[in-house]
Amino acid sequence: MRYIRELIADESLSTQFVLIGLLAVALGALLTRAMAFFHHKKAGVLPKYPSGWSAAQCRALESVQLLVGLTLIPLWGSFLFIAPSVAANWPAGCNLVVIFIIFMLLISNAWVLLLTPRNWEKFGAISRSFSIMITFLVIWWGATFTVTGWIFAKASASPTMHAISGVYAAQDLPRW
């Protein structure tokens, strides 16, 4: 938290409160979900899959959950790698770093939510069809990781400077 306060020390008090408040909410949500996950794990609560799903389909969903978690590792790593350059290259780079931390915490929270045992049947018709559910999850997480990677790539690049150079002189043209 001290690092965050140092990052946004030059900002107005209201901006500091907003950023720290959003960070606290995102971190609180992640920790709450993680505690619920570990509580369910300790209590032996298992997810309730739709009755139409086979055991192989349930294992496939668990594989997708694991794959999402494993994909978060390089995403966090790339964030930690680009954070110093974002803070240095952009005028509001320190704010961007804090916003990226909040964004990464929310993505991690969504993954823990995906892991937490639940009644998959409560999602209605969408959850009854394994192919629709798995397609939705793959597209959702693929888009999330792609957009996040693209944002990190754009933010880590130096801002382009558009400068007009050269000689621009008026030329007298004959009038008709």
Can you say how many angstroms the Cα of residue 147 is from the centroid of all Cα atoms in its chain? 9
Digit-coded pLDDT (tens) for 47-85: 888 888 899 999 999 999 999 999 999 999 999 998 888
Domain boundaries, the chain: 2-156
Whole-number Å distance between alpha carbons of 103 and 106: 5
The one-character DSSP state at 51 is T
**Per-residue model confidence (pLDDT) at position 176:** 60
Q: What are phi and psi of 166, to 5 degrees?
A: 115, 180
Mean per-residue pLDDT for 91-118? Answer: 87
Tally of CB atoms within 10 A around 111: 19
Mean per-residue pLDDT for 79-95? Answer: 82
**Per-residue model confidence (pLDDT) at position 163:** 60
Q: Could you tell me which of 156, 34, 166 has the C-alpha nearest to residue 93?
A: 156
pTM recorded for the entire structure: 0.78
- Residue 97 predicted with pLDDT over 70: yes
Mean per-residue pLDDT for 82-107? Answer: 85
